């Protein structure tokens, strides 16, 4: 009886590990590159079959009148993580976005080089994604483009502590002031899309800021040297979606 329990336990452990491996088994190059994500696991099928996928090329936007972004920021403790796919900064509570009469709370922000979304066919050297979630679990992502230019002192607070090894986390000695990281003007494009990494879940509100900010060539190169490769998903078909300006 005890032997049967032990065998059953081992089988469950094995299945659990296999499920975890399948969920995590994706990358930006080789056999697990973005073009193959949908085939790697049933959980990733939307990456291949979805019709509202991100990123996209932004052009021919429909001019409309819409409310300004309502953002609130609260500086607090932050952790910086190298998860092997990107550099991510987890934030404290109190950073909010109000849109469509709903409140979304910032969970984290992370970076892609080059940019994932393009504007009129143009890639930027880097794009930051600020990931917000509401009480129902719905997501809104705010995208910020970076151009090559002046050294970015706000970004430097994080960059000086980027973990070199994947899987490592550091507590930031100086928290990034997100408000100071953003441009003064917050004009934006809006569209419906998806996560840009597996499982490529759709129904994500996307807000792409029209004004970019600067970072130095050295800061871009440092990120790339730690990632060892580009970490942007290719542009996805628009499939009739409307982009709001």
All domains of the chain in start order, with CATH: 52-227 (3.10.200.10)
For residue 180, the model assigns a pLDDT of 96
Would you give the end-to-end CA distance of the chain in angstroms? 67
165 by Cβ neighbours in 10 Å (0-12 / 13-18 / 19+) ranks as exposed
pLDDT digits (tens, 9 = 90+) for 62-85: 988 777 899 999 999 999 999 999
User: From CA 32, how far away is CA 20, in angstroms rounded?
Assistant: 16
Using one digit for the tens of pLDDT, what is the confidence trace for 103-162?
Answer: 999 999 999 999 999 999 999 999 999 999 999 999 999 999 999 999 999 999 999 999
User: Strand (E) positions, the chain?
Assistant: 57-58, 70-72, 79-82, 87-90, 96-99, 102-112, 118-119, 126-133, 139-148, 169-171, 188-194, 202-209, 213-215
How far is Cα 179 from Cα 130, in angstroms, rounded to an integer? 12
What does each C-alpha distance from 81 to 31, 41, 161, 171 come to in angstroms?
A: 25, 25, 10, 9
What separation in angstroms does the CA of 236 have from each of 140, 144, 233?
A: 18, 19, 9
Which residue bears the tokens 């991510």?
88
pLDDT in tens, 166-219: 999 999 999 999 999 999 999 999 999 999 999 999 999 999 999 999 999 999
Please, which residues have CB within 8 angstroms of residue 165's CB and are 6 or more apart in sequence? 82
Query: Are 207 and 190 spatial neighbours (Cβ–Cβ below 8 Å)?
Result: yes
| pTM of full prediction above 0.85 | yes
d(CA 57, CA 116): 9
Q: Report the distance separating Cα 131 and Cα 142, nearest Å.
A: 7
120 torsion bin: left (phi>0), alpha (psi -120 to 50), beta (else): left
Q: Which pLDDT value is given to residue 67?
A: 79
What whole-number distance in Å separates Cα of residue 83 and Cα of residue 212?
Answer: 26
Contact between 121 and 235 (Cβ < 8 Å)? no
Token digits for 18?
Answer: 């296999």
**Enzyme catalytic residues:** 85
Q: What is the pLDDT of residue 24?
A: 53
Q: What is the pLDDT of residues 6-61, one digit of tens each?
A: 333 333 333 333 333 334 589 999 999 999 999 999 999 999 999 999 999 999 89
């Amino acid at each position: 009886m005890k032997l049967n329990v032990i065998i059953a336990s081992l089988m469950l452990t094995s299945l659990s590990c296999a499920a975890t491996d399948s969920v995590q088994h994706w990358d930006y190059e080789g056999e697990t590159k973005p073009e193959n994500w949908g085939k790697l696991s049933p959980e990733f099928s939307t990456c291949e079959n979805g019709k509202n996928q991100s990123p996209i090329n932004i052009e021919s936007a429909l001019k409309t009148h819409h409310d300004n972004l309502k953002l609130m920021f609260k500086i607090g403790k932050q952790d910086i993580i190298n998860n092997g796919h990107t550099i991510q900064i987890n934030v404290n509570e109190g950073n909010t976005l109000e849109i469509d009469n709903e409140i979304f709370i910032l969970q984290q922000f992370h970076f892609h080089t080059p940019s994932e979304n393009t504007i009129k066919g143009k890639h930027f050297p880097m794009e930051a994604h600020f990931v917000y979630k509401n009480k129902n679990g719905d997501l809104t992502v705010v995208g910020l483009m970076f151009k090559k230019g002046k050294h970015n002192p706000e970004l430097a607070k994080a960059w000086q502590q980027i973990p070199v090894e994947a899987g490592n986390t550091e507590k930031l000695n100086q928290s990034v002031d997100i408000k100071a990281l953003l441009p003064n003007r917050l004009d934006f494009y809006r569209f419906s899309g998806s996560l840009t990494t597996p499982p490529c879940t759709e129904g994500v509100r996307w807000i792409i800021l029209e004004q970019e900010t600067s970072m130095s060539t050295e800061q871009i190169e440092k990120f790339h040297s730690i990632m060892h490769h580009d970490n942007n998903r290719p542009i996805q078909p628009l499939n009739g979606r409307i982009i709001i300006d």
